[in-house]
Amino acid sequence: MFKDCWALAVDAQEATSQSCQVSFKLKKKMSGAATGCEAEGDRVDLAEQSLLNKMIRRCLVRNRNQVEVLQADPTSPLYSVRTFEELRLKPELLKGVYEMGFNRPSRIQENALPMMLAQPAQNLIAQSQSGTGKTAAFSLAMLSHVNTANKWTQCLCIAPTYELALQIGQVIEQMGKFLPDVKLAYAVRGNRMVRGVKLQEHIVIGTPGTVLDWCTKYKLIDPKRITMFVLDEADVMIATQGHRDQSIRIQRQLSNECQMLLFSATFEDSVWTFAEQLVPDPNIIRLKRDEETLDTIKQFYVLCGDKEEKFTALCDLYGSLTVAQAMIFCHTRRMAAWLAASLTEEGHQVALLSGEMTVEQRAAVIERFRSGKEKVLVTTNVCSRGIDVEQVTLVVNFDLPVNMDGSADNETYLHRIGRTGRFGKRGFAVNMVDSKRSMDIINQIEMHFNRKIKKLDTGNSEEMETLLN
């Protein structure tokens, strides 16, 4: 059915071909390949490493039955009263879902799917915690919605980053495996197309700039024929600081009957208000503030004096970082580059992903990380949302997320730490604090989510053992 999109290398030459899909050189993807149990950092103190190994392994083992336990716990976001059969999915989709190893829907899937599939079509604004299966929810809706007899684009899904668009496409490909007639195209940078020839792909997934070009400049999609429009990470897509202009320009071209579905783990109050103005008569699934954070992600901060001390603390943590996989977030591309270079200089093996890299480089880095070849990814906010790498056990905020005015960026914080603790797994988030200002930010974040962020002394392995358990 679909051409595999996620691959180690992008063939730039092929990308210029007239194919309607991203032309990646195919190397079968290896998602979930890493077991995450072998330690690599041979420069790290062995006693410390063995202790951390033990702790993380225990977490991984403990996790095995955790999803089932959580799915039976009414207070968990993974809880559901219904089965996938009861959600009345097409048999081919059920097959796809079960082949992906899903046994039961999560709460958001169980609640949102009936609304998304209802006739006549209903709009939806939905919030659900990070890692609770929003992608599968709207992917199932799109795959159910498509009428393959119609050879034009019917579902349009936009996401804020290139990596995320590809990841969503990958989920749709897997889920739609038994629906070979449903076709998908990727409206992402680097996928060059011939002007004026309308696409026959039923589903288009992409980033806002390219999608807008495909609708207006290249006229590959007739926006009036789109009947389902999905915004993933919807708050950032419609926030003034985000992709608002492009998203709104796309949305304005759609017909009034087009069904609109907005998903995110966060919706700042002002963005929520705006979303309600944008989407006519929506169904609403909204979390209470204290439900937004996950109990399964433990949060810490480490007190440091300056950048160098943060670096030392990070090196102390490195033993635990390499046990499974870790993502380290920096505020700027420059800081990320400095950190990656400094860690490499110390003999650590890390990958770097930031916005200025070419799409080929970005695809290669994320795929290497996903397949476990690199255990640590140093990045900027470009990877803060949506990226789903199951084995990520640790998130480090080397720089805390701040707004333009220097206040805590609570939404970005939640998305960043949500790269761990996916679908019931346990995770750790460690924040580096290097000034009174950054301590204030931690306090603001604690107050916002009403959650304690505990102090961690990375130099004290005994204390680490107590706290991390």
Ligand X SMILES: Nc1ncnc2c1ncn2[C@@H]1O[C@H](COP(=O)(O)OP(=O)(O)OP(=O)(O)O)[C@@H](O)[C@H]1O
Of 56 and 265, the one with the shorter C-beta distance to ligand X is 265
Assigned token pair, 408: 């805590």
From the CB of 133, what's the least distance to ligand X, in Å? 3
303: nearest Cα among 464, 409, 457: 457
Instruction: Give the per-residue contact string, 189-228, with ligand X (x = CB under 6 A; - = no).
Output: ----------------------------------------
**Residue 369 interacts with ligand X (CB under 6 A)?**
no
Out of 386, 401, 421, 424, point to the residue binding Mg ion (CB under 5 A): 386
From the list ligand X, Mg ion, none, partner contacted by residue 390 (C-beta under 5 to 8 A by kind): ligand X
**Residue 106 interacts with ligand X (CB under 6 A)?**
yes
Go through 241-269 and write b for each residue having 16 or more CB atoms within 10 A of its CB, e for each that does not.
ebbbebbeebbeebeeebbbbbbbbbbee
Return d(Cα 328, Cα 431) in angstroms, integer.
10
- Residue nearest Mg ion by beta-carbon distance: 386
Of 173 and 399, the one with the shorter C-beta distance to Mg ion is 173
Return d(Cα 311, Cα 320) in angstroms, integer.
15
The DSSP result for 183-205, as a single string, is -EEEE-TT----TT-----SEEE
**Residue 158 interacts with ligand X (CB under 6 A)?**
no
Return d(Cα 40, Cα 349) in angstroms, integer.
9
Whether the CB-CB separation of 238 and 274 falls below 8 Å is answered with yes
Question: What's the DSSP call for residue 381?
Answer: G
Of 29 and 134, the one with the shorter C-beta distance to Mg ion is 134
From the list ligand X, Mg ion, none, partner contacted by residue 76 (C-beta under 5 to 8 A by kind): none
**Residue 426 interacts with ligand X (CB under 6 A)?**
no
Q: Which residues lie across from 336 on neighbouring strands?
A: none
From the list Mg ion, ligand X, none, partner contacted by residue 102 (C-beta under 5 to 8 A by kind): ligand X
From the list ligand X, Mg ion, none, partner contacted by residue 176 (C-beta under 5 to 8 A by kind): none
From the CB of 6, what's the least distance to ligand X, in Å? 14
From the CB of 130, what's the least distance to ligand X, in Å? 4
Return d(Cα 93, Cα 143) in angstroms, integer.
8
From the list Mg ion, ligand X, none, partner contacted by residue 96 (C-beta under 5 to 8 A by kind): none
From the CB of 173, what's the least distance to ligand X, in Å? 13
From the CB of 265, what's the least distance to ligand X, in Å? 4
Of 223 and 386, the one with the shorter C-beta distance to Mg ion is 386
Q: Write the CB contacts of 271 (distance below 8 Å, at least 6 apart in sequence).
A: 235, 238, 239
Instruction: Give the per-residue contact string, 135-174, with Mg ion (x = CB under 5 A; - = no).
Output: x---------------------------------------
Q: Which residues lie across from 125 on neighbouring strands?
A: 262, 284
Q: Write the CB contacts of 464 (distance below 8 Å, at least 6 apart in sequence).
A: 51, 52, 320, 456, 457, 458
Q: Which residues lie across from 298 on neighbouring strands?
A: 428
Of 51 and 78, the one with the shorter C-beta distance to ligand X is 78
Of 41 and 133, the one with the shorter C-beta distance to ligand X is 133
**Residue 299 interacts with ligand X (CB under 6 A)?**
no
Helix H or strand E encompassing 411 = helix 410-417
From the CB of 305, what's the least distance to ligand X, in Å? 33
Out of 223, 372, 418, 421, point to the residue binding ligand X (CB under 6 A): 418
Residue 331 falls in which region: left (phi positive, over 0), alpha (psi -120 to 50) or beta: alpha
Instruction: Give the per-residue contact string, 127-146, with ligand X (x = CB under 6 A; - = no).
Output: -x-xxxxxxx----------
Helices within 161-301 (DSSP H only): 162-175, 208-215, 234-238, 244-253, 269-278
Backbone angles phi, psi at 311, to 5 degrees: -65, -45
Out of 186, 267, 311, 423, point to the residue binding ligand X (CB under 6 A): 423
Show contacts with ligand X in window 380-399 (CB under 6 A).
Answer: 386, 388, 390
**Residue 125 interacts with ligand X (CB under 6 A)?**
no
Instruction: Give the per-residue contact string, 75-114, with Mg ion (x = CB under 5 A; - = no).
Output: ----------------------------------------
The sign of the dihedral angle between the CA atoms of 128, 130, 131, 137 is: positive
Task: Give the pairing type, strands 259-264 and 283-285.
Answer: unpaired
From the list Mg ion, ligand X, none, partner contacted by residue 431 (C-beta under 5 to 8 A by kind): none
| Residue 323 identity | V
**Residue 282 interacts with ligand X (CB under 6 A)?**
no
- Where does this chain bind Mg ion (CB under 5 A)? 134-135, 386
- Where does this chain bind ligand X (CB under 6 A)? 102, 104-106, 109, 128, 130-136, 265, 386, 388, 390, 418, 422-423
